[in-house]
Amino acid sequence: MREWWRGAVIYQIYPRSFCDGNDDGLGDLPGITAKLGYVRDLGVDGIWLSPIFTSPMKDGGYDVADYCDIDPIFGTLADFDRLVERAHELGLKVIIDQVYSHSSDLNPWFRESRQSRDNPKADWYVWSLPQADGTPPNNWLSVFGGPAWSWDPRRRQYYMHNFLPEQPELNFHNDDVQRAILDVARFWLDRGVDGFRLDVANFFMHDPLLRDNPPSGQTDTVKPYRMQRPLHNRSRPETFQFVARLRHCLDEYPERMAVAEIASETPLKDMVDYTDGPERYHTAYTFEFLRDTFSAAHIRTAVSQASRGSPDAWPSWAFSNHDVMRVLTRWGGFEATPWFAKLLIAVLVSLRGTAFLYQGEELGLPQARVPYDRLRDPEGITFWPDYESRDNARTPMPWTAGIAHAGFSTVEPWLPVDPVHIDRAVDRQEADEASPLNFTKRFLAWRKQHPALIGGDIRFFETAEPVLAFERLGEGGRLLCAFNLARTPARADLGFDGTATRLPAPDLPGTVKGRTVTLPGYGAVFARLD
């Protein structure tokens, strides 16, 4: 029996920006629950909720002050339980973010740890004495700028933080920390969640010798972090010891899973390493398709490399999420058409792996523009104006055109609704049969009729740009998938074995004759190979 998550399509919800249920300008759990029918009707298999836990919100909830409670801006544990119950009634799985690498500095664990060098939690975080000249213990840098160390006058030591100073790193070399985190996992599993998305899942361990990182050779003056190779504070081999313990914990609960976020120098290799075998995560995704590069060759090479790494390791793929520029703009520019949005949906959910759709991707939303004085993202503020703020991908979901704030809230929302998004609101797209929204619904329904697209293997054809072509092989036989990634027409001779019978995939014009596919701009063709 195929595990539910293999080949599933998971819809990512950024809770602050999805739906405001109590009209305070912030999205919340009751708002999400009210819109689960919409999510179900898309044809996805589950949802991933970005952090909803008690937090001072220095980094959008990725600074957790209480791992086992809901932040009041989102609601209560009872609201969460109702959301899970309603999702399950609708046949949707629920995955929640888990932020184990670091906590908030307001977390009681850290508050106790910083009081002295000999209290019960003194070693729960990464502490170190200064060097002889008072400088930090080594040259490690924070992703968000500056040293990865901050001075604490109470302990007269430095503590480590890979991100904000308000996000101290937990010390996973301490067995008590590992046990406490596993208790957190069980708390949410006992409440009925179906899985976890593990934030920066390869950041859990650090080099206990605190050796300096070597230079990367890059001269990126905007983000100095990229000028180092973080060999000693990321992707440490010791991490797998905890991964095995977490996997064993998940295996105590039937039908549960974990998807890891992997950010590394060798993302595809690490994606395989972190998912290969029964003591690893079930699946993982990287930033491979969350960057600027867009070509048939790039997609072909990345997916092939992941497949060759291990036949058992199962990849996940995303084109957009809350941390990067929306894919329609990143790969298509601000003039990208709805046809390009449809093509991207079709490509993503046709690849071998589990697919993650980010809220608004089904609407073909372009990147928003948030004025500097409205930014909330600490990374975006620090590196403005040379860095694309993450807030530009986090603006409120446009539900209804023609009313205040596109129906997200009756009051001014935490981030402004981009006027460009209003014309692409849900209500307008629901009334337009040719919209990206209705295409997504039809295509995901059609996909479910073809098991090879869900769990089958993949084999690519060598094609010139801009044609991407592959076959999926599995239950139901062989399925040809060919896409034109450009707005101008393209043809390709694929040289496959057998004969091709075109399948009526929704809204994707293209033909196959003999072994040649003919594709209009942003066209595609699917065919059964006999």
Over residues 364-392, the pLDDT tens digits come to 999 999 999 999 999 999 999 998 999 99
Q: Are 127 and 210 in contact (CB under 8 A)?
A: no
pLDDT of residue 497: 87
Question: What confidence tens digit (pLDDT) does each residue in 157-174 have?
Answer: 999 999 999 999 999 999
If you ran DSSP here, which 8-state letter would residue 497 be given? S
d(CA 493, CA 474): 23
Catalytic residue from among 89, 183, 212, 252:
252
Q: Do 55 and 197 share a structural domain?
A: yes
Contacts of residue 419, Cβ cutoff 8 Å, sequence gap at least 6: none
Residue ranges of alpha helices (H) inside 204-334 are: 239-251, 267-273, 296-309, 327-332
pLDDT of residue 462: 95
CATH number of domain containing 375: 3.20.20.80
- pLDDT-based confidence at residue 221 (cuts at 50, 70, 90): confident
Q: Do 488 and 441 share a structural domain?
A: no
Q: What is the mean pLDDT of residues 403-416?
A: 97
d(CA 352, CA 95): 20
Question: What confidence tens digit (pLDDT) does each residue in 268-306 have?
Answer: 999 999 999 999 999 999 999 999 999 999 999 999 999
- Positive or negative CA dihedral for 64, 66, 68, 73? negative
Q: What is the mean pLDDT of residues 514-519?
A: 97
pLDDT mean across residues, the chain: 97
Q: Do 391 and 523 share a structural domain?
A: no
Regarding predicted confidence, which is higher, 425 or 309? 425
pLDDT of residue 355: 98
Task: Report if residue 153 sits inside a domain.
Answer: no
Task: Give SS3 for 525.
Answer: strand
d(CA 507, CA 227): 45
From 50, 156, 167, select the one nearest 109 (Cα to Cα): 167
Question: What confidence tens digit (pLDDT) does each residue in 319-356 have?
Answer: 999 999 999 999 999 999 999 999 999 999 999 999 99
Q: Do 485 and 415 share a structural domain?
A: no
The range of the structural domain enclosing residue 369 comes to 9-103+175-446
Instruction: Give me the sheet containing 457-460, strands edge to edge.
Output: 457-460, 467-474, 477-484, 524-529, 500-503
Question: What confidence tens digit (pLDDT) does each residue in 176-199 have?
Answer: 999 999 999 999 999 999 999 999
Instruction: Return the residue matching tokens 């991100």.
Output: 163
From 155, 101, 161, select the one nearest 130 (Cα to Cα): 155
Q: Is the pLDDT of residue 220 over 80?
A: no
pTM: 0.97
What are φ and ψ of residue 272, in 5° steps?
Answer: -70, -50
Q: Do 192 and 72 share a structural domain?
A: yes
Q: Is the pLDDT of residue 63 over 90?
A: yes
Please state whether beta strands 127-128 and 53-54 pair in parallel, antiparallel, or not at all (unpaired): unpaired
Q: Do 369 and 262 share a structural domain?
A: yes
Is 199 designated active site?
yes
d(CA 100, CA 124): 12
Q: Do 410 and 267 share a structural domain?
A: yes
Q: Do 496 and 401 share a structural domain?
A: no
Structure tokens that stand for 432 in this block:
């337009």
Catalytic residue from among 166, 199, 323, 388:
199
Task: Report if residue 230 sits inside a domain.
Answer: yes
Question: What confidence tens digit (pLDDT) does each residue in 102-117 have?
Answer: 999 999 999 999 999 9
Q: Is the pLDDT of residue 144 over 80?
A: yes
Domain total of the chain: 2
Q: What is the mean pLDDT of residues 255-263?
A: 97
Helix count and strand count (H, E) for the chain: 15, 21
Task: Report if residue 194 sits inside a domain.
Answer: yes
Task: Report if residue 419 sits inside a domain.
Answer: yes
Is 252 designated active site?
yes
Q: What is the mean pLDDT of residues 207-212?
A: 98
- pLDDT-based confidence at residue 219 (cuts at 50, 70, 90): confident
Q: Do 311 and 227 share a structural domain?
A: yes
Question: What confidence tens digit (pLDDT) does each residue in 127-142 have?
Answer: 999 999 999 999 999 9
